[in-house]
Homo-oligomer: A and B are copies of this chain.
Amino acid sequence: MSAAPSREALRKLSEDYYDLNGSFIETLDTPPSPLQFSRLIHVSRPVIIKGWLLLVYILSNIDILNSGHDVPPLTRWSDQYLCERMGDHPVSIAVTPDGRADAVTKGPDDKLYFVEPHVEGMTMSNFLAKLDVLYLQSQNGNVYTDRTFEEEDDPSEFDPLRDDIPKDVPWCTEAVDRSPDAVNLWIGDGRSVTSIHNDPYENIYTVVRGQKHFILLPPTDGWCMQERLYPHARYTRHRPDAPLSLQPSIDAPPVRWASIPDPHIDPETAFPPEVHPLFVTLNAGDTLYLPAGWWHHVRQSGLTIALNWWYDVEMRGMTWALLSFLRGSNDVPPGNASDAGSSEEIDAPLEL
C-alpha cells in the first residue's frame, strides 16, 4: 500500500487550513519581541515587518549610535558604494541563459532536467554592468555561515560588506534560541526568478533595494506541487567566450522538484481550486517572516538587493515529521516518462 497520504485527505486538509486562516497576512509596524516572535513561529504564517531600521538595527550587533552614521549602513548601498567597497574582490555569480537557476528545464535531448547555474567569478562592477542574465544568489551562507557563530574562521566573498550586515536578527535568535545557519546576499533583476520550492528553515528575508514579489502556499498545500524526480544538470561554458550549454551530470542523484507550471504566469492553471496562494510584495526596508516549509516562488522588479537569515527549523516535536509527511516523501515519480522503470509504479497525474 502507498505510504503517501491519500490525495482526498490532503485536499480536505488544504480546505480546512484555508477555512481557519483565510488569506490574512499580519503586518507589524515594529519588530516583535522575542516572545511575540516565538508565538508567531508557532502559528507558522507569513508576517510582514515594516521598517527595517527598527528591524535590523535596534538591539542588533551593529551599534548604529556609535557607528558614525546617521542612517543605517544598508541604506547607502548604491551601485557606486557597492563597487567601491568590493573593489576587485571576485564574487560568485549564477549565470543562466534565461535567469532561471535551480529550475526544471528541457535539455537538448528533450528530457527535463533540474539545472543548476553556471557560476562565474567577476567583480561587483562587472556584475552590476551586465546584470540582466546574472543572479548573485549562491545560497551557501555567502555572507555568514554557522562557522561565525561557532567562532571559527568563516571567509566570505562579501567580507568588505560585512560591516554593514547584521550577523543575526536578535529577536529571532532569542525566540528560537539558536544562531542563524546561514546569512545570504541576493542581487538580481526582473529576469531572475526562483522557481517554487520550500526550505527546512525559518527564514527572515529583508529587501534592501528594489522590490520582491512572492507567491506563498502553506505546507498543507504541498500535495498540489506534483513533485517529480529530475536528472541533475548544470550550465557550463566550454570556453570563456562560448555560450552556455546544459550539461547533464554524471553522478549527481536526481533532484525532487515541483512540476507545476510557473505560478507567476497563471496561478489558475498552476493550482487546483482548493488552494489559495498568497501574493506578497516587499519594498525596500520590508522584511518577510517566511515560515519553514512554506512553498515560495520569488521574482523581482528591477535591480533588487536582499538579505536573508536562515534559522534551522525546530527538529523536536512534530514539525519536521509533518513537513515530510505533507510532501509525501516516499512516492515521488520520475519527471520524464522514459525514466520510469518497469518495476516502479507511477502515480497518475493529479486530476485537477
Query: Which residues of A does B touch, CB under 8 Å?
Result: 1-13, 16-17, 20-21, 34-35, 38-39, 41-45, 174-177, 218-220, 314-322, 324-325, 328, 330
Contact = CB atoms under 8 A, between A and B. Distances in A.
A73 to B, nearest CB: 29
Contact of A2 (B2, B9, B220): B9
Contacts of A7: 1
A2 to B, nearest CB: 6
Given A2-B9, A4-B9, A318 B35 contact: no
A221 to B, nearest CB: 11
A177 B43 CA distance: 13
B12 A6 contact: no
A145 B91 CA distance: 62
A13 B325 contact: yes
A267 to B, nearest CB: 22
Contacts of A176: 39
A37 to B, nearest CB: 9
A8 B177 CA distance: 35
A13 B316 contact: no
Contacts of A3: 6, 8-9, 11-12
Contact of A317 (B43, B177, B314, B320): B43
A251 B317 CA distance: 40
Given A35-B175, A177-B39, A13 B321 contact: yes
B1 A44 contact: no
A42 B16 CA distance: 21
A9 B322 CA distance: 11
Contacts of A174: 35
Nearest to A19: B321
A172 to B, nearest CB: 12
Given A3-B6, A42-B317, A318-B322, 17 more contacts: A2-B8, A5-B9, A6-B6, A13-B321, A16-B325, A21-B316, A21-B317, A35-B175, A38-B175, A39-B176, A39-B314, A41-B42, A43-B316, A44-B317, A45-B317, A218-B318, A322-B322
A6 B1 contact: yes
A17 B321 contact: yes
A324 B34 CA distance: 30
